[in-house]
Amino acid sequence: MAKIVSLTDAVAEFVHDGDTVALEGFTHLIPFAAGHEIIRQRRRDLTLARMTPDLVYDQLVGAGCARKLIFSWGGNPGVGSLYRLRDAITAGWPTPLEIEEHTHAGLANRYVAGASGLPFAVLRGAAGTDLVQHSPSVSTVRCPFTGEHLTAVASLNPDVTIVHAQRADRAGNVQLWGISGVQKEAVFAARHAIATVEEVVDELTPMPGGVVLPRFTVAAVAVVPGGAAPSYAHGYYDRDNTAYLEWDKISRDRETFTAWLRRIEKGDLEKNEGAP
C-alpha cells in the first residue's frame, strides 16, 4: 500500500547498491528529481534500465552510479549524442559500463512480459539484424500453432521502478496522462515501485487517456513539483528544449560535467530541479 513519504526516504528505502532500477517515462514525465536523489545518495553498481536513457541516465552514468545499462535508444532527443554514456562505453569513465541493447519494441515487450508474470514475450522483432547476436535476452521461438519462427525476449523485472506522474490522491493512488510510454508495464513488472508526483489532491478526476496506478501497485509516493524537468508534465509545464540543447555542452567534457555534478550533489539545483 502506497505511503506518502519524502523523495529522500523513498530512495533510501527502496533503491540499493546493485539493484536493477528502471526510471521510465518516454520523453514525457521523466523522473529527473528521483535520478538526482539517487546521485546524491551515491548508489553504486546499479543496472539501469530505460528505453531512452535520455539526460537522466547520462547524468547517473557520469556520476558513477551504474555498472550496466539496458536500453533501446541512447541519444539526446532531437539534439545529438549522450556524451557521458559514450565516454563510459568507449573509455570506461568514470567506471566501465556494460551495455545490453534492444529495439524499442523488444524492450517494451520485455516489460510487458514482466508485468504479465511471464518468462518471455513474443514479437516479430528485428529479424536479420546484428543486434540479435549481441543481446543475451533476445532469442527465437517456434510458434506451436503455425510453426513460424518468432523473436523471443526475456522478461524484465526491475527491483524498483520509478515513474513521475501528474498527481496522486491521499491514499496513494497515482494518475498520469498524456504520452504514457511504458510506465504502467514498468511499474507492474517491478518488485517495488516509487512514484513522484506534481501534487496530491483530494480526489482524482478522470482524465482522457489517463492511466491510474492503484495504491497497492506503488510502494511509495513522493510529492516533487517540477520533478520531471527538464522533460515535461503535460498540463503542468512544457519540455525545456533549451536545457536539452545546453546539456550537449555540459556533458561534452568531463570537467564541465563534474562541475554540474558537484552542484547536484550539494543540492544547489534542488529548488529548480532538473534544469542543468
Residues within the interface to another protein (CB under 8 A) = 26-28, 51-52, 71-75, 77-79, 81-82, 85-86, 89-90, 101-106, 108-109, 111-112, 123-131, 134, 148-149, 178-182, 184-185, 209, 211, 232, 234, 238-242, 244-245
Smaller CB distance to another protein: residue 4 or 116?
Answer: 116
Q: In the bound complex, what is the minimum distance in angstroms from residue 43's beta carbon to another protein?
A: 24
Q: Report the sign of the C-alpha dihedral through residues 192, 189, 33, 248, in that order.
A: positive
- Residue 133's Cα: distance from chain center in Å? 25
Distance, CA of 168 to CA of 172 (rounded, Å): 6
Closest-CA residue to 57 (of 80, 76, 40):
76
Smaller CB distance to another protein: residue 74 or 94?
Answer: 74
Smaller CB distance to another protein: residue 19 or 185?
Answer: 185
Q: In the bound complex, what is the minimum distance in angstroms from residue 134's beta carbon to another protein?
A: 6
Q: In the bound complex, what is the minimum distance in angstroms from residue 40's beta carbon to another protein?
A: 27
Smaller CB distance to another protein: residue 1 or 127?
Answer: 127
Are 124 and 150 in contact by the 8 Å Cβ rule? The answer is yes
Are 70 and 114 in contact by the 8 Å Cβ rule? The answer is no
Smaller CB distance to another protein: residue 47 or 151?
Answer: 151
The torsion region of residue 124 among left (phi > 0), alpha (psi -120 to 50) and beta comes to alpha
Smaller CB distance to another protein: residue 16 or 81?
Answer: 81
Q: Which amino acid makes up residue 18?
A: G
Q: In the bound complex, what is the minimum distance in angstroms from residue 109's beta carbon to another protein?
A: 7
Say what the alpha-carbon torsion angle 154, 12, 218, 228 is, to the nearest 10 degrees. -90
Q: In the bound complex, what is the minimum distance in angstroms from residue 111's beta carbon to another protein?
A: 7
Are 116 and 86 in contact by the 8 Å Cβ rule? The answer is no
Q: In the bound complex, what is the minimum distance in angstroms from residue 110's beta carbon to another protein?
A: 10
